[in-house]
Amino acid sequence: MAALLAATVTSGVVVKPVSNMHSKPAADSDVVSQAIYGSNVALLEERNGWARIRTADEYTGWMQDAELRRLAGGERAYASGDRTAQVESLFANLYQEADVTKHAPLLTVPFETRLEVVAEEELQGRWIHVRLADDRPAWVQRGDVTLVAQRLSIAETIALSKRFLGLPYFWGGVSTFGYDCSGFTQMLCRRRGLLIPRDADIQAAWRGMIPIERDNLKPGDLVYFGKSPEKITHTGMYIGNGEFVNATAWERPVVQISRLDDPHWTKLFVAARRLK
């Protein structure tokens, strides 16, 4: 029987490199999305070793308790202060000391993971001392992170998108361990400083975008595909010259550059949107 979480426990932080969110509190239920390491989430409900959570983009799903650390009442959200580092490499290894040779990494976390920096004086040199989401100390190489995440221009976002080419497609995926189509476009828009909805069909209907005719596409616009405008199932970002970048299971299940004039995509194209 479901039980509401105690009033003093209203939030948590993800402690696994990437954690699946399920439609039901069962491991064999379908994956609806994911949350990456260090993500702060709202805890809505508990049931038999599972917690129903809500992520920053208002998405809900069930996650196993072992993949979360509950924050005590009054405890600040993880990596929410000024002293944070954000992973800019596709992946970053976190070590128990400032040395890559002594021990295997404690964790390997994906792109965009936010980490809490221990002290300002640690920001010089090759290594940065961080506090992990489960309160353990760790070290990350400075070359894997940025201390000041910048909003990207459209041109910079397109250049960034090409770094992910060849990464695996994963249904429900939101990380460099594997993206799905809408998780990938959501990430690209996030790097422009815009938080758009999680799913492709909801993105296309979102009031933060305006409809664009196919003939008027510009780089940075989002393109949508499906059986009809009411049944959108796929999305990507237009990059110019008739091409769009997308995470797709079509032919090769990887992030790839596709062409709008490919018969497969021409048949399925239903809409284009431009962020306001």
Query: What's the pLDDT score for residue 9?
Result: 44
Query: What average pLDDT does range 150-157 have in this prediction?
Result: 96
Superfamily (CATH H level) for 84-146: SH3 Domains (2.30.30.40)
How much is the pTM?
Answer: 0.93
For residues 43 and 52, what is the distance between their CA atoms, to the nearest angstrom? Answer: 6
Which two tokens mark 183? 């998780």
CB contact at 8 A, 273 and 201: no
**How much is the mean pLDDT over the chain?**
94
Tens of pLDDT, residue by residue over 5-41, are 444 448 999 999 999 999 999 999 999 999 999 999 9
Quick check: do 11-70 and 84-146 share a fold? yes
| Domain boundaries along the sequence of the chain | 11-70, 84-146, 154-275
Q: What are phi and psi of 196, to 5 degrees?
A: -105, 165
Compute how many other C-beta atoms are within 10 angstroms of the C-beta atom of residue 62.
Answer: 22
Superfamily of 11-70 according to CATH = SH3 Domains (2.30.30.40)
Quick one: pLDDT at residue 5? 41
- Reported confidence tier of residue 123, pLDDT bands at 50, 70, 90: low
CATH 3.40.190.10 assigned to domain 154-275? The reply is no
Tokens of 28: 């064999």
Instruction: Give helix 181-191 / helix 154-161 axis angle, nearest 10°.
Output: 140
